[in-house]
């Protein structure tokens, strides 16, 4: 102390200037002080447990901010829209690690539906174009592969000639065996023509094929009749039987001609219809392709219809399992997970934005904002307020006590010096990055109590020494 006293007496101006510079630096250190309520105030940040927890928070996020929504009915559209608005307002703010809420799932479902719709448009467009090409090809094949029209007129002439021959047989059976041979040749030609007709018909023409088969059967019967002529003694009946059979064949050919003509007309109409349908489908495919190519102009939005939301959330009148985890006693829960290195300033900004959104939506009374980050911020603010009230009350109490019990010159000097001591202490803590905690704040009452006692004793001794000298 003697050395310090001698130094002060020897260099009073330099000592004063140095003291002022140090005090100015310590005043600046006061601005660097911070309030700490984290785990490092309860456990050393050098322990493995603290480091493991720190690594976990950096990888998976810090303690979340939790919002509880008091809704009129479970998953009503008003509450979900409010939740969606909060989601939009805070999603891109610094400090947000992830958000977990019904809105998150609904947005994911909407995005999935958006992708599926775009993919569906592309697939439908390609499918319609492929079907169009197939229909056009089928139309051309039908038009190009129609069976050739059978010369029914020639067949009719042949049959009429056979009928005339049979009538002539009724008037005389001259050279009957020659005539029978001629008839057999004619019947062979007829059978060949009918066989040709059958080969020209399409397999799908079941009715026409049946008629042709009937004609072949009757022709076979005719050949059998002609073959048995030589074995028949009553030759006079042959012309009548043959003439009737040929007349029946002629009638069958006439009916077959009409059916084939109608079939060809229908096939032609079908080919035209298929061609027109193919063209229309191709145009539809082109239109869907244009929509798909410009589909990125749309964005999946949050549903505003209660029916749409119910279809996403409910299944057979029961909430889907993926949405049940957000229900807490008939209330909805929204979780905002913070980054592991989130700052107090970022937490304040997020909290202020949430409260502003709730205020703008007139929903401040319906939503509870809680969670450890909010509680920590409230504790820090309460600590700051308590510290300010403590300092103000302490100064006021010291003023009253000194006024009543310390009748000396410069009786307020202890208060000034104690304030300097507090500033020096807080400034040193700020420069050394020692934050204020619930434990370290207990230092200031002790500092004020002991400091003012020591300074009163120091001042009293100074006054005594001064009066004796």
Which residue, 347, 345, 188, 204, is CA-closest to 270?
A: 204
Q: Hey, CA dihedral for 187, 190, 194, 199, is it positive or negative? A: positive
Return the exposure string of 105-134: e unless at least 16 CB atoms fall within 10 Å of the residue's CB, then b. Answer: bbbebbeeebeeebeebbebbeebbebbee
Q: How confident is the model at residue 155 (pLDDT cuts 50, 70, 90)?
A: low
pLDDT tens readout for residues 103-154: 888 888 877 776 666 676 677 667 667 766 766 776 776 666 655 555 556 6
Structural tokens at position 86: 């909060």
pLDDT tens readout for residues 367-395: 999 988 888 888 778 877 887 888 888 88
Which residue, 146, 105, 149, is CA-closest to 320?
A: 105
* Cα pseudo-dihedral 440, 445, 446, 451, rounded to 10: 120
User: What residues contact residue 428 under an 8 Å CB cut-off, 6+ apart?
Assistant: 26, 29, 434
pLDDT attached to residue 7: 79
Structural tokens at position 264: 């060809």
Query: Is 421:447 a contact under the CB 8 Å cutoff?
Result: yes
Count of CB atoms within 10 A of residue 158's CB? 17
Q: Are strands 331-338 and 65-69 parallel, antiparallel or unpaired?
A: antiparallel
454 pLDDT above the threshold of 70: yes
Alpha helices in 363-412 (DSSP H): 372-405
Q: In angstroms, rounded to a whole number, what is the distance separating the alpha carbons of residues 394 and 332?
A: 47
pLDDT attached to residue 181: 60
Cite the beta strand spans of 277-330 per DSSP E.
Answer: 314-315, 318-319, 327-328
Count of CB atoms within 10 A of residue 22's CB? 12
DSSP 224-242: HHHHTGGG-S-GGGHHHHH
89 pLDDT above the threshold of 90: yes
pLDDT attached to residue 297: 44
Query: Is 106:80 a contact under the CB 8 Å cutoff?
Result: yes
354 pLDDT above the threshold of 90: yes
> Considering the entire predicted model, what is its pTM?
0.54
> What is the distance, to the nearest Å, from the Cα of residue 11 to the centroid of all Cα atoms in its chain?
77
Structural tokens at position 357: 């959104």
3-state secondary structure of 339: coil
pLDDT attached to residue 55: 80
Structural tokens at position 450: 């002991």
Using CB atoms within 10 Å of the CB of residue 385, give its burial: 0 to 12 exposed, 13 to 18 middle, 19+ buried.
exposed
End-to-end, the C-alpha distance of the chain in Å comes to 20
Average pLDDT over residues 441-463: 82
Which residue, 122, 458, 25, 83, is CA-closest to 302?
A: 83
Query: Is 193:175 a contact under the CB 8 Å cutoff?
Result: no
358 pLDDT above the threshold of 50: yes
User: What residues contact residue 112 under an 8 Å CB cut-off, 6+ apart?
Assistant: none
453 pLDDT above the threshold of 70: yes
């Amino acid at each position: 102390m003697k050395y310090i006293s001698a130094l002060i007496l020897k260099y009073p101006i330099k000592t004063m200037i140095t003291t002022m510079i140090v005090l100015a630096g310590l005043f600046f250190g006061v601005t660097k002080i911070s309030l700490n309520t984290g785990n490092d105030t309860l456990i050393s940040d050098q322990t493995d447990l603290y480091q493991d927890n720190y690594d976990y928070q950096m990888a998976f996020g810090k303690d979340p901010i939790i919002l509880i929504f008091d809704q009129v009915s479970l998953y009503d559209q008003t509450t979900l829209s409010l939740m969606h608005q909060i989601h939009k307002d805070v999603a891109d703010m610094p400090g947000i690690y992830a958000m977990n809420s019904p809105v998150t799932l609904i947005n994911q479902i909407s995005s999935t539906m958006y992708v599926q719709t775009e993919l569906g448009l592309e697939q439908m467009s390609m499918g319609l174009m492929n079907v169009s090409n197939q229909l056009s090809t089928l139309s051309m094949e039908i038009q190009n592969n129609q069976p050739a029209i059978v010369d029914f007129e020639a067949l009719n002439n042949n049959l009429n000639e056979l009928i005339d021959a049979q009538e002539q047989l009724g008037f005389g059976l001259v050279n009957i065996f020659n005539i029978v041979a001629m008839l057999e040749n004619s019947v062979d030609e007829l059978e060949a023509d009918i066989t040709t007709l059958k080969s020209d018909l399409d397999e799908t023409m079941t009715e026409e094929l049946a008629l042709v088969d009937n004609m072949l059967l009757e022709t076979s019967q005719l050949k059998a009749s002609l073959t048995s002529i030589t074995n028949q003694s009553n030759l006079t009946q042959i012309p009548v039987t043959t003439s009737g059979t040929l007349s029946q064949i002629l009638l069958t050919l006439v009916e077959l001609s009409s059916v084939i003509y109608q079939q060809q007309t229908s096939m032609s109409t079908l080919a035209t219809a298929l061609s027109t349908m193919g063209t229309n489908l191709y145009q539809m495919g082109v239109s869907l392709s244009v929509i798909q190519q410009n589909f990125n102009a749309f964005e999946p939005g949050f549903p505003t219809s209660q029916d749409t939301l119910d279809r996403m959330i409910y299944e057979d009148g029961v909430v889907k399992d993926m949405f049940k985890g957000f229900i807490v006693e008939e209330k909805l829960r929204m979780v905002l997970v913070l980054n592991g290195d989130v700052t107090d300033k970022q937490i304040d900004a997020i909290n202020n934005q949430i409260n502003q959104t709730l205020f703008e939506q007139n929903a401040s009374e319906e939503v509870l904002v809680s969670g450890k980050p909010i509680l920590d911020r409230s504790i820090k603010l309460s600590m700051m307020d308590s510290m300010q009230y403590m300092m103000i009350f302490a100064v006021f109490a010291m003023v009253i006590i000194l006024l009543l019990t310390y009748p000396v010159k410069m009786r307020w000097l202890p208060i000034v010096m104690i304030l300097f001591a507090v500033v020096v202490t807080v400034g040193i803590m700020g420069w050394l990055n020692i934050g204020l905690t619930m434990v370290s704040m207990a230092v200031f009452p002790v500092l004020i109590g002991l400091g003012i006692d020591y300074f009163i004793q120091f001042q009293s001794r100074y006054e005594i020494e001064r009066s004796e000298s």
